[in-house]
Amino acid sequence: MMNLLMLLLFTLLLTVPCCCEGEMNKAVDEGIKISQEKANTFVRRQKRAYPYSERYYEMFKSPMEMKQEQCEHYAPCDYYSEIVGFPTAYRHYFGSV
């Protein structure tokens, strides 16, 4: 009698995960669905600290960028910069970098 009871419990333990597996995967596949408004409360775009910083950088170019543009507008320097690189070409045609 004891062996039959142990066999029944063992069989029951083996069949329970097989029976419940389909329902568990179904819940995982569906995922959590929330409305767009609630999702937006959690995920907010970070605002920029300086709203005019992009305009500032567009108005004022760095000295290196101005030198690169000067070299690009002079055809021999532009051609030479493709071969040896910008710093060497600029130094060759306009002096120090």
Q: How far is CA 40 from CA 31, 32, 51, in A?
A: 18, 15, 22
In this prediction, residue 8 carries a pLDDT of 79
* pLDDT exceeds 70 at position 22: no
Q: How confident is the model at residue 96 (pLDDT cuts 50, 70, 90)?
A: confident
pTM of the model as a whole: 0.41
Give the span between the Cα atoms of 14 and 89, in whole angstroms: 77
Mean pLDDT value across the chain: 76
Q: How far apart are the first and last CA of the chain?
A: 96
How many other CB atoms sit within 10 Å of the CB of residue 94? 13
Residue 51 has phi, psi (to 5 degrees) of -65, -20
In this prediction, residue 88 carries a pLDDT of 93
Q: How confident is the model at residue 83 (pLDDT cuts 50, 70, 90)?
A: very high
In this prediction, residue 76 carries a pLDDT of 93
